[in-house]
Structure 1
Amino acid sequence: MQIRRIQIMKFLKGAGLTLAALLIVCFWYIAAAWISGKLPVGGRPQIHEAGQLPTYLCEAPFHTDIALPLYDPMFAWTGELKDELPTWMPPDTYVLFGWGDSVFFTSVLQPEDMTPGRVLSALAGFNQTAVRIVPVDGGSVEEYCEPIPVDTEGRAALIEHIRETFLRDNEGELHTLPTPVPGEILVKAKGRYSMFNTCNQWTAAALGKAGLPRSLFAPFAWNVTSPLQGLEEPSTEEVTLYN
C-alpha cells in the first residue's frame, strides 16, 4: 500500500509539473504574439495607384486570406488554374488565397471537428500543406474584406509569394487535394505547418514581401491585421473595375 501511495504521489507530481510547463509555454507564446503585434516591422510608403484593382485582406476568427482579382492584369490566374476553375467566371470574381494544414482545410469544418489528434498532428507538421483557393464575387469581397494599400510592386510580390508556395512536379504542374467543400480548390503546397509556422504566419510573410507592416511572429489572425490599422485605405473612385 505504501509503494502504491508513493507511485500515485510521483504521478501527480509529474502531472503537475507538466501542466505548469504547458501553462508557462502558453503564456510566453501569447506574450510573444502580443509583443510582435504591438511592435511590427515597418513597411515602405505605398500609394494605391489609379486604375489598379483593389487588393484585399480577409479575416476569419483563426485564419486570414489574401484576395486578388481572378482577371488580374498583372497575372493571368485563369491560366495558372485553368484545369481547376470553371470554364467561365463572372468578370468581377476575386480569388481568396490562404495556406495551411490540409487536414484542417478538409476535416475541421465545424468547431467540434477540432479534435486533439488533428490539432497535435498539425502542430507537429505531420500533414500535407495546401493553398486553399476560393473564388468569390467581388461584392462579397468588398463587403467582408478590408482593402490594403499596395502599389504595383507590392501586388507583384504578393502574387510571387503565392505562386512560390505552390508545390509543383518536375513538369511544373500543380496538383490538387480532394476537398468536401463545394467551390474550394486545394493545391498541394510547400512548407510544414507548426505552432511557429501557422496560416497567419504565411500571410504576414506575404505582406512583408509586399512592403507592408507585419508582425515577425504572427500565429493569430489579429497579428496580421493589427499592423495594418491606421494605413490609408486605397480609394476605388478612380479605378475602372472591369471592362
Structure 2
Amino acid sequence: MIGGPLVFLLSAWIGSSIPRNSDWQETADGVEIFVGTNGIHTEIVMPIATDVIDWRGRFPIGDITAAQRPYTHVAVSWGEKEFFLQTPTWGDLSPGVALNAVTGGSGVLHIAWYVRPAPSDDFRPLRITRDQYASLAAQITAQLAPEDTGQSYPGYSRNDVFYDAVGTYHLGNTCNQWTSDRLAAAGIKTGLWTPLPGGVMKWVNALPHAAALPRAPHAPDAPDR
C-alpha cells in the first residue's frame, strides 16, 4: 500500500528534476507573466492585453459575473472536468469524483481574472520574449474545445469560469504537467515530468524577499488579486 505512493513521489521528484529547454534564460524586456500555485494546483497568469494577444477575444469577459471590475491579468489552468466542477471545496470531494480523476477524465480550462496581482513566493513573475509569449498564447488557445462542441460553466466565484478543453486527465497528465508542458512548448525552462506543483515552481525563481510577502491565495478567494 505504501510502496505505490512512494514510487510515485520518487518518480515525480526525479522527473521534475530533468530540465527541458535547459539553456533558456529570462529576458530583460519582453512580457512578464506569472506562474502561481495554491499548493496543489498551478496556473499561468498573463496580462489581459498586449500587442501579442488580447485574451478577451478568447475568453469573453461577459462570461463571468463581476465583468465590470478593472482586471489586468487572466489566469489559465487545466484539470479534470468533473473534479473541477464538482469540488469547489475539499469538503465536496467524493470517492467517485476522485477515482475518476485518477483513472482518466476529460479536460477543462479554468479561467480567472485578477486585478494587479502582487508577486509572492507562491505567485512568481517570469519575463519571457514576445516570441515565446506568442508561442505560449498559441499553445493555450489550442487547448480550447472546438466552438461547436465546447461549453462554458460557472466558476467558484464572481471572477472565474470554466471552458471545455482538449486532453485527458490522468496521473501521467495532471494539471501541473499541463502547466509545464505549455511552458516547455514555448521554449521556457521547466521540468520533464511535473505531476506535483513543486515540480513546476522549482524552475521559477523565488523572489529574494518572498518570505516577507503574503502567500498568494487561491483564485476563488481573491477576485481582486
TM superposition score category, shorter chain reference? 0.7 to 0.9
Q: Which runs of 4+ in 1 moved over 4 A?
A: 85-89
User: Taking structure 1 as reference, are residues 61 and 84 closer, same or farther at Cα in structure 2, changes over 3 Å only?
Assistant: same
Show the 5 A alignment for 1:85-234. Answer: 88-90=68-70, 93-126=72-105, 128-138=106-116, 140-143=117-120, 145-170=123-148, 175-229=151-205
Distance verdict in 2 for CA 1:174–1:131, change over 3 Å:
same
The size of the alignment, in residue pairs, is: 205
Q: TM-score, normalised by structure 1?
A: 0.75
Q: Please state which structure has a larger fraction of its residues in helix.
A: 1
> Kindly tell me: are residues 37 and 229 of structure 1, through their superposed partners in 2, closer, same or farther at Cα, counting changes over 3 Å?
farther
SS in 2 for 1:72: coil
Q: Is this contact kept in 1: 2:109–2:165, CA < 8 A? A: yes
Mind listing any 5+ residue stretches in structure 1 that lack a counterpart? Answer: 1-18, 233-243
Specify the structure having the higher radius of gyration (Cα): 1
Normalised TM-score (structure 2): 0.80
How far apart, CA to CA, are the structure 2 residues paired with 1:175 and 1:223? 31
Residue pair 1:149, 1:231 contacting (<8 A) in 2 also = no
* Superposed displacement of residue 39, structure 1: 2.7
User: How big is the shift at 1:89?
Assistant: 4.6
Which ranges in structure 2 are unaligned for 5 or more consecutive residues? 209-225
| CA positional deviation for 1:207 | 1.3
Superposition RMSD on alpha carbons, in Å? 2.5
Q: Give 2:183's aligned amino acid.
A: L
| Identical counterparts, % of pairs | 23
Q: Quote the offset at 1:230 in angstroms.
A: 7.4
User: Would you tell me which structure has more strand in proportion to its own residues?
Assistant: 2
Give, in angstroms, the shift of residue 74 of structure 1: 0.8
